C-alpha cells in the first residue's frame, strides 16, 4: 500500500505568516491528493482536491501544489481561524484511501 508522510507533524506560526505543509507519497499518485482542515471537536473540511483545485467556499489564501510524490499545502497569510490540524489524503481509485498522520498548526 502507498504510504502518505506529512511534514512537519506540528508547526508554530503567527497571524500573517506564510505556512507550508508537505505531504509525500511512497510512490507516484499523479494528482490524486486532497487536503483537509480539522478543528477540535469538528469534522474535517475539504480544502483542496486533485492536488491544486480549491474547494468552493475556501479562502483564496489556501493553495495546493505538486504532483507525483511530493505535494504542498500553502497558507499565504495565516488567519486566527486557520489554527487547526491539516491532513493530506490519497485519493487514487486503484489504492486504499490513506490519510497522512496530520500536521498541527499552532
**Interface residues toward another protein, by CB under 8 A:** 32, 34, 36, 38, 42-46, 49-50, 55, 87, 89, 91-93, 96-102
Based on CB atoms, which residue is closest to another protein, 17 or 92? 92
If you ran DSSP here, which 8-state letter would residue 9 be given?
S
- Residue whose C-alpha is closest to residue 48's, from 26, 28, 69, 67: 67
Give min distance, CB of 38 to another protein, in A. 8
Based on CB atoms, which residue is closest to another protein, 15 or 50? 50
Based on CB atoms, which residue is closest to another protein, 49 or 71? 49
In the three-class reduction of DSSP (H, G, I as helix; E, B as strand; rest coil), residue 75 is classed as strand
Q: How far, in Å, are 5, 22, 25, 75, 94 from residue 72 at the CA level?
A: 12, 5, 12, 10, 22
Give min distance, CB of 77 to another protein, in A. 25
CB-CB contact of 83 with 38 (8 Å): no
Based on CB atoms, which residue is closest to another protein, 1 or 81? 1
Amino acid at each position: 500500500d502507498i504510504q502518505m508522510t506529512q511534514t512537519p507533524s506540528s508547526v508554530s506560526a503567527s497571524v500573517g505568516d506564510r505556512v507550508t505543509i508537505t505531504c509525500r507519497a511512497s510512490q507516484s499518485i499523479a494528482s490524486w491528493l486532497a487536503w483537509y482542515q480539522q478543528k477540535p471537536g469538528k469534522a474535517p473540511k475539504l480544502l483542496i482536491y486533485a492536488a491544486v483545485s480549491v474547494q468552493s467556499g475556501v479562502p483564496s489564501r489556501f493553495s495546493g501544489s505538486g504532483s507525483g510524490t511530493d505535494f504542498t499545502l500553502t497558507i499565504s497569510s495565516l488567519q486566527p481561524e486557520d489554527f487547526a490540524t491539516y491532513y493530506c489524503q490519497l485519493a487514487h481509485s486503484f489504492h486504499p484511501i490513506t490519510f497522512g498522520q496530520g500536521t498541527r498548526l499552532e
